[in-house]
Structures are given as structure tokens and as C-alpha cells.
Chain A
Amino acid sequence: MRPQMTCPKCGAEMNHQADKLREPTTQEEAETSRLGGIVIAVFACPSCGWIASQPLREDS
């Protein structure tokens, strides 16, 4: 299932535009990641342009 996100600024459905690896920020993240960091799904709002992200499950 594709990740989805609602714009926190205007409420529109956002567009999933990228998956990005970011460095772990906690020991738990470092220990549970197989990719060397946490993958975040990055979204852009087609209505207001806002950018937001959420952690992506490694198996998605």
C-alpha cells in the first residue's frame, strides 16, 4: 500500500514525491535499521506547496 499524507497546512491530499534515507537520531533507530538510517516518505502539497514527511516502513 502506498504511503499517504494529508497536508498539515491546508488539508489537501499530498503527493508522495520521494523516499529519502536519513541518519538515525536515536540508538533504537540505529539498531533497527538495515539500511543505515531511517527511510522517510516525503510529500508535497499540490494545493499550497508545503513539504512534509513520515517514517516509511522498511518493508514498504
Chain B
Amino acid sequence: MSEHAARAVLAEIQKRPGIETELIDAATLPIPTDEAGEAAKSPAFAEAMNRADAIVLVAPEYNRGYPGLLKHVLDTNLHEYIHKAVGVVGVSSGIFGGARVIDNLLPVLRELGLVTIFWDVNVNNARTRFDENGELVDDAFLSIDKFLDELVWMAETLRHGRERVTLGGPA
């Protein structure tokens, strides 16, 4: 269900002019599981993260937490994330819409140097939200416009800061 949610979020982002986006499925990345951290880095994924001004994580909730594979993939980069915007879409088959996976991801994202926005998207009862073709059947994304507005604002502001504001002030 989270793949359907990711495609629906992608479609919402693509409605916005001037934004280039890419859908990356963590399950298909060529990242070894017998290494960890930057030792397991995928050059293509690292380059995508380096180019990105913002990241949307669409995360399914399993046993109140995030999938181990998602954490493993996130850990393969560090400087590529620093001072970039991130928003989280939680997906669950229950009524809370991934609220707990979002809460559990926040300290991880902070440690990676990402800057979280305060809007989330919660897709609850995910098994009933999409038809057999993966299309949304109802208004599951109530907060998507607020979420994307905030994400784009944060992305633009942080890009300005990364490139123009020097740590410690002007020389």
C-alpha cells in the first residue's frame, strides 16, 4: 500500500510547476546488507540525494516503527542531507495513519542533518484507500497541499542558506 501512496504523492508533486522530482524505491536500490552506513553507499542514490533540495519519505508502519530497510538506506549518506528539507508521509492499515512511524523517524532524520517540516500526511486504513489499479478512491491526502507548501518553502529557504549563509557568519 505504501507504494500506491508514494505514487499518489508523486502525482501531487508533479502538479506543481518548476519542481523536478524522482521516485526512489528503497527496496530496489543496489545497497548491500552486509555493510552499513556510508560503506554501503550507492553512487546513484548518493547523487540523487546530493541534487535534491527536499525529500519526501513515504513510510509504512510496521509494529509501531519504520522498516529496517528504510533506515539502512538512509544511513548510507550523510553530507548529502545536511540542511535539506524532509517531510514524512505515514502509511498504515490502522486508524492512526502511520503517526507512530513518523514520530520514530524524526530523531533519525534530525541526526542525519535533515530539517523536518511540521506538516505530515497520514494515510490510515491504507488497504481501503486505493483501488485495484493503485488509484486513490477517496480523499486520503487531506493535508497534502499544506504539506507540500511547507516543504517547498523550507526547501527554497534552506537552499538559500546552504549556498549563501556561511557558518559562523561572514569572514
Hey, which bits of chain A sit against chain B, CB under 8 A? 2, 15-20, 22-23, 25, 40, 42, 44-46, 49-53
Q: SS class of chain B's interface: helix, strand, loop or mixed?
A: helix
Given contacts A15-B163, A51-B82, 14 further A-B contacts (CB under 8 A): A15-B162, A17-B82, A17-B163, A17-B165, A18-B113, A18-B167, A20-B79, A20-B113, A44-B83, A44-B163, A46-B163, A49-B53, A50-B50, A52-B79
Contact in complex: B78, A20 (CB < 8 Å): yes
By Cβ-Cβ distance, the 6 closest A-B pairs, closest first, are A44-B162, A53-B79, A46-B163, A42-B82, A17-B162, A18-B82
Contact in complex: B164, A15 (CB < 8 Å): yes
How many A-B contacts at CB < 8 Å in the complex?
59
Chain B interfacial residues counted at CB < 8 A? 22
- The distance from the CB of A30 to the nearest CB of chain B, in whole angstroms, is 13
Q: A17-B83, A42-B82 are in contact. Are A2 and B164 (CB under 8 A)?
A: no
B37 at the interface (CB under 8 A from A): yes
Contact in complex: A16, B166 (CB < 8 Å): yes
Q: A18-B83, A20-B113, A40-B78 are in contact. Are A49 and B167 (CB under 8 A)?
A: no
**Counting chain A CB atoms within 10 Å of each CB, which of B163, B166, B168, B171 scores highest?**
B163
B161 at the interface (CB under 8 A from A): yes
Distance, CA A11 to CA B51, complexed state (A)? 16
Distance, CA A20 to CA B77, complexed state (A)? 13
